[in-house]
Amino acid sequence: MLQFYFLSIAMNALAGYLLIKGDTDGQGSLVFRSGISLSDETFRLVVGIASALTGLMKILSVIDGDVPVVGDAFPALTGFLAGFILIFEYYRSRTTLENSDNVEKVDRLLIANKKVIGSAAIVAAVLHFLFPTVLLL
């Protein structure tokens, strides 16, 4: 479906930007007229959920002439990972429970490399936009 194709490009670009930008303290953040700030935790959570769901739906939906599942593997994976990181950061900032081994593993694996994953998400968005029928993009 073309809707998920567009959402994949938009969510990968936005989630990638939020991961690269990284800070949530509100210093120098872009604020829209409606009062929504890109550093707002709730906004980051919504983008994370939308990005993860779009990544999942990109695996399940196919554009005509594309190879099922494999055709959108890179944008779907980067969107899902970027969304998961944004959701996990929100969870980690709100929880009062002590860190378990699993939380620390996710921290070491994904959160420590979030700028790399954010860069990969932006690259996936640009390549997915420029080359719509290339295998794995």
Nearest to 5 by CA among 50, 85, 46, 61: 61
Mean pLDDT computed over 100-106: 77
Dist CA 65 CA 5 (whole Å)? 13
**Residue pair 52/46 in contact by the 8 Å Cβ criterion:** no
Exposed/middle/buried for 103, CB within 10 Å: 0-12, 13-18, 19+?
Answer: middle
Question: pLDDT for 16-28, tens place per residue?
Answer: 999 998 765 555 5
pTM of the entire structure? 0.83
Question: pLDDT for 36-62, tens place per residue?
Answer: 777 788 889 999 999 999 999 888 877
Domain ranges of the chain: 2-21+33-130
